[in-house]
Structure 1
Amino acid sequence: MRILLFTGKGGVGKTTLAAATGAALAGRGRKTLVVSTDPAHSLADAFGTPLGTDPAEVEGTAGLWAAQVDSRTLADRTWHELRGELRKVLTGAGLDILDAEELTVLPGVDELLALSEVQRLASHGPWDTVVVDCGPTAETLRLLSLPEAVSGYLTRMYGTRRVAASIRRLGTHLDALRSLLTDPAVTTVRLVLTPERLVVAEARRTLTSLALRGIAVDGLIANRLMPAPGLWRGSAAKWLRTRRDQQDAVLAELAAAGFRPALVEHRASEPVGTTALAELARELYGSRDPLAGNGKPVTPLLTVTAGTAGTAATSPGGGFRLRVALPLERDSVLDLARVDDDLAITVDGFRRLVALPETLRPCRITGAESDADGLTITLAEERGPE
């Protein structure tokens, strides 16, 4: 089973490219489900056919199914029972009814249930691949962070105390979701952008945030590239040439930073329906396998290493060095802190707790340096009073 998550800033064409990728995979003989968690529900528009919450085979394409997740209906159907059990546990722990009611309102529950529905569909259908049309990047980052966040929420609330069976099931389910998202052999992200500076800036911040969450990105797609005007003359040709030069400059900056996205030209008409989507996929992938992305992953998973053998390496001035690999911008705002046995890393407002190797748990942070590929943190052993 492979799961491809498509995301990008709103309006860059991620839904169309997700649908085109699904059509390409089905055309190569892979049973494929394309499912949308985007509240905009534009996947049906891309395929040119009505879609519901249950997967249905897309007419005219063998081996291709599509569906749209309705997170609001899922919340109404499944959250009510669990919320009631949470309320009982909290009032039994001595909280009054009002406090219990407030604590059972989990932020982001709609998105969490949407992600759970994707997992359910992936594990219960005949398909080999699930292509997910996610919401815009901000919503997607919140979606992908929820399994870890809610799992931590439940752990802090209940610890190891006995809790209702449904709450234990929720905890187990969240752990399974987190494992699914952070397994690069199963789940990868395709980040869609248009060659514009503001869009690219958001995309690069998204790469860092995904790395902090341990989620692999296997390709960037630069969509809506203006066609080269060639020898055309006139005001329209001048406008096209100017826009294309601006886009080429942005792509050159990306290349200089080590990013080489796949390119898709802007079309005069929207690609609607499986025939037009298959044509778009041929431009995007050519003879390449759509599952292969466009080369090696453009950003590594978050990795914490110390030395080459997984043990702490002594730094020249004493103490230890810890390497955290993730892409960083020159203007990235970083913050490091110790939280018990974890290292809290915050980059541009995105925070992740990383469990320290056992050797480093008695240490304190003494300094840090950053480059485009990550952080080098120095730590020293705490000394007791002499």
Structure 2
Amino acid sequence: MVLGPGGSGVSVLAAAAAFTDAHPVERAGTLPVREHRDTVLITLDARSPVPALLGVYRVAGEPVPVTSGVDLLHVGRLDVIERAWTEFTAALTALTAGRTALPVVGTLASMAPGELTDLPGAAEFLMLRQVRDAATSGEWRRVVVDLSGVGDPFALLRAPTVLSAAIERMWPRATRLAQAGEKPVLAQLSAAIERIDRDCQDLADLFCDPHSVAAHLVLDASERSRRVAADHLAIADVTALPLRSVLINAGDADRPTSPTADTVRGILGDPDGVTVREIASGGVLDRLSRIRKIAVPVAAPSGRPYGSGALTVESSGEGLAALFELRWRQGLPEPDRLHLGRSGDDLLVTVAGFRHPVRLPSVLRRCRVVGANWADGELSVRFEPDAAIWPARQGGTGGAVSS
């Protein structure tokens, strides 16, 4: 996944990364073999310039061959909404045919696709699900996702979690399962909602899986990028995004080392598997032949958890006197903007104006927060057992466990 602030050259470097190290596909006669392609470049921007730059038509939802080794897949927000909702309402109509439907079912079936654009996380969820389906189809060896043009890329990746929470608030799982058992007309609807909720969880897990995903942050050499670098790196920490490299779009190849690169290296300190690479992308990049001249080698997934994905829990004491400490490496550009809260099984962490739910290990879900601290680039949160729900025979482990 390639992401960064708007105007940093994310689309161009994502396209260049797709062509770097792409392997041509063997041909049978005059046609390329379609059973397996090497690389697909996925863009989520409805107004992305990439199709025009690569010299191909914009075809929403269908992979378009660009070269013998690279395809382009354009995922459009409105297209995925309309397709998914049309299928969903058709299923509802068939479900209620000849039956007395509940008011909520009739209301859902009568809604037009355009009315769903503001349902929290719905459109983003559908777009990310199509990305996942392409990545797991087995048709391509590599999948390069261009996250430019979607507003805040971190908010996009958080969308499945937001949608799952919205579903739980509107129709809690325990309630819908109980109602499905009592009213057969709701069984299929409940099953459809259950599948959506499972997909939300699957997507949330996928995009922080260091074995499957490698994220690459693009910054340019401007003063603006130097100002926002710390915020983006801190948000990557709290979201557990498996960051593998920071690509500095340095422009002119003859320029000395970019101050942005120095700033990023200073923030990262010990990079722990994250490389900082300057990319010379000078000149007018208005066609495929020029984009292919830019070498953007991107590292593959490392399998190493990142940020809150690598959290550990240390414990001491026994029973209700036990004390637990949750820790992970966390950048904090503005300590006064750090806020912590609790919502069910999640610790709500706000860093650099971005709030993200960090799922608590099971042992901490029966505890309450008693303190927190940030020092030496590490966030620690202390917990103690909640006497009202703590199991009588459970105590501290006296050791440390990973998430």
CA distance in 2, matches of 1:57, 1:7: 23
- Rate the CA distance shift 1:56–1:318 in 2: closer, same or farther, 3 A: closer
Give runs of aligned pairs for residues 22-101 of structure 1, distance below 5 A: 22-27=18-23, 31-53=38-60, 54-58=62-66, 61-82=67-88, 92=102
Matched, 1:209 2:235: yes
For 1:276, the equivalent position in structure 2 comes to: 290
Say if 1:328 and 1:372, in contact at 8 Å, map to a contact too: no
Give runs of aligned pairs for residues 105-124 of structure 1, distance below 5 A: 106-124=119-137
Alpha-carbon offset, residue 45 of structure 1: 2.8
Aligned length: 347
- Rate the CA distance shift 1:372–1:18 in 2: closer, same or farther, 3 A: farther
Say if 2:18 and 2:41, in contact at 8 Å, map to a contact too: yes
- Rate the CA distance shift 1:278–1:341 in 2: closer, same or farther, 3 A: closer
TM-score, normalised by the number of residues in structure 2: 0.74
Letter in 1 for 2:354: F
Say if 1:341 and 1:361, in contact at 8 Å, map to a contact too: yes
TM-score, normalised by the number of residues in structure 1: 0.77
For 2:206, the equivalent position in structure 1 comes to: 180
Secondary structure of 2:282's match?
A: coil
CA distance in 1, matches of 2:339, 2:68: 51
For 2:8, the equivalent position in structure 1 comes to: 12
Q: CA RMSD in A?
A: 3.6
Alpha-carbon offset, residue 136 of structure 1: 4.3
CA distance in 2, matches of 1:314, 1:330: 34
Alpha-carbon offset, residue 65 of structure 1: 0.9
For 2:34, the equivalent position in structure 1 comes to: none
Q: 1:220-279 CA distances to partner (integer Å, 9 max, x unpaired)?
A: 1000344446xxxxxxxxxxxxxx6xx733332222222652101241222621x32332
For 2:169, the equivalent position in structure 1 comes to: 156
Q: 1:80-135 CA distances to partner (integer Å, 9 max, x unpaired)?
A: 4536878999x93889969x979995134332222122122223352111111112
Give runs of aligned pairs for residues 216-235 of structure 1, distance below 5 A: 216-228=242-254
Matched, 1:189 2:212: no
Matched, 1:267 2:282: yes
CA distance in 1, matches of 2:206, 2:12: 25
For 2:381, the equivalent position in structure 1 comes to: 377
Matched, 1:169 2:195: yes
Q: 1:120-154 CA distances to partner (integer Å, 9 max, x unpaired)?
A: 22233521111111124743222211111111221
Identity over aligned pairs, percent: 26
Say if 1:19 and 1:34, in contact at 8 Å, map to a contact too: yes
2:324 to 317, 320, 345: 320
For 1:256, the equivalent position in structure 2 comes to: 266
Alpha-carbon offset, residue 42 of structure 1: 1.3
Alpha-carbon offset, residue 305 of structure 1: 1.5
CA distance in 2, matches of 1:65, 1:329: 39
Say if 2:238 and 2:307, in contact at 8 Å, map to a contact too: no
Letter in 1 for 2:221: P
Alpha-carbon offset, residue 360 of structure 1: 3.5
Alpha-carbon offset, residue 63 of structure 1: 1.8
Say if 1:18 and 1:131, in contact at 8 Å, map to a contact too: yes
Alpha-carbon offset, residue 338 of structure 1: 2.8
Please identify, of 139-148 and 43-52, the stretch whose mean Cα deviation from structure 2 is larger: 43-52
- Rate the CA distance shift 1:143–1:84 in 2: closer, same or farther, 3 A: farther
CA distance in 2, matches of 1:76, 1:199: 36
